Chains A and B, each alone.
Chain A
Amino acid sequence: MGSAPSLDEQAYVRAGATQTAVKILVVGHFAVGKTTFIRAISEIPPLSTEETMTRAGELFDDLKGVRGKTTTTVAMDFGRLTISERVVLYLFGTPGQQRFVQMWEDMARGALGALVLVDPERLADSFGVIDLIEQYGLDYAIAVNRFDGTRDREERALREALDLLDDTPVVPVDARDQRSSADALITLVRYLLDRAH
């Protein structure tokens, strides 16, 4: 970086004296609507970090300055929502490639839970991400993003295809719509709260 980016006041966390941060993951395959979802909920424009695969990967697998020589991928993007004077919530979105092991550990550690976005027309593309979420022991809910004009799929069939537990919530979502996205998030948090009792 040349010089420090100067940020306006809203970019900073309104940190009360007891403010603490929590996070929820928003996962799903490429183009399933993660960034759109995060943008709908976040109070800041979504930010992202990139990871690069390089031969010096043992040193830093996210080396910068080698763009063009190796592939650079947006590894995660994230947004923020101030919940109260005490709690600020971060939403981390990732396509969940297994190869970003370090990043997954960073993201999953301490997460309250995960919202898994799925496209009912491409259910098989969600298997890998769900496997990862389960592997990290995170509780999750499924948000079904039907996009436009795709036919409805029976919830029972979807549950079967994804091999979900009976109590795993499945909610419809339009990631472009703030209210719809918030409803999906609320469903997840209510479920997490049930599980915590």
Chain B
Amino acid sequence: MTDYDELGPGAADLVRPYVITKGRGLPDEKQLSLITLVTAAGDEQQRPTSLSPEEQNLLELCTAGYLSVAEIAGHTRLPMGVVKILLSALTERGYLITRPPVQRAPLTDRHILEEVLDGLRAKFG
């Protein structure tokens, strides 16, 4: 940990993301990629009030459907690192469902590329 006193004026601003994430470190990259799709689990009534305002906002944003991790960062204007930390903590505690992208493999790649090609042609062709 950096000693914030050493950072001089404005150091308080630098603390904020750390506070938002309650000191948690960056999550395992395998769990959340930029295109992992995320949605809220279960019903809103069961959510404890112990969640931070940031966590509650994220959950709210994820209630109406799926968004990618990148879109969540874009909509909330929070830094990507912070979003990943908050989302993985919420996932760990069962408030979010995440759908990771398919594992890359030659056969899946071909199927997916064919599907993308057909889709692009159908939309724009």
Shortest A8–chain B CB gap in Å is: 9
Given A19-B37, A47-B74, A110-B101: A11 and B67 within 8 A (CB)? yes
- Inter-chain contact A178/B124, CB cutoff 8 Å: yes
Chain B residues with Cβ under 8 A from A178's Cβ?
A: 124
Give the residue among B79, B106, B114 with the most A Cβ atoms within 10 A: B79
Given A4-B58, A21-B36, A87-B119: A47 and B75 within 8 A (CB)? yes
CA of A167 to CA of B118 in the docked complex: distance in angstroms? 22
- Inter-chain contact A189/B65, CB cutoff 8 Å: no
- Inter-chain contact A182/B67, CB cutoff 8 Å: no
CA of A65 to CA of B16 in the docked complex: distance in angstroms? 8
Given A1-B57, A49-B80, A106-B80: A87 and B14 within 8 A (CB)? no
B42 beta carbon closer than 8 Å to chain A = no
Shortest B18–chain A CB gap in Å is: 7
CA of A162 to CA of B78 in the docked complex: distance in angstroms? 37
- Inter-chain contact A112/B82, CB cutoff 8 Å: no
Classify chain A's interface size.
35 or more
Give how many A-B residue pairs fall within 8 Å (CB-CB). 185
CA of A58 to CA of B25 in the docked complex: distance in angstroms? 12
CA of A102 to CA of B29 in the docked complex: distance in angstroms? 11
B41 beta carbon closer than 8 Å to chain A = no
Chain A residues with Cβ under 8 A from B17's Cβ?
A: 60, 63-65
Give the residue among A12, A50, A105 with the most B Cβ atoms within 10 A: A12
- Inter-chain contact B80/A56, CB cutoff 8 Å: no
Q: Which of B61, B80, B106, B117 is within 8 Å of A189, CB to CB?
A: B117
A66 beta carbon closer than 8 Å to chain B = yes
B47 beta carbon closer than 8 Å to chain A = no
Given A1-B57, A109-B33: A83 and B115 within 8 A (CB)? yes
A71-91, CB under 8 A of B: which get 1 and which 0? Answer: 000000010110110111110
Residues of A within 8 A of B (CB): 1, 3-5, 7, 9, 11-13, 15, 19-23, 44, 47-52, 54-56, 58-66, 69, 78, 80-81, 83-84, 86-90, 92, 102-103, 105-107, 109-110, 112, 178-179, 182-183, 185-186, 189-190, 192-193, 196-197
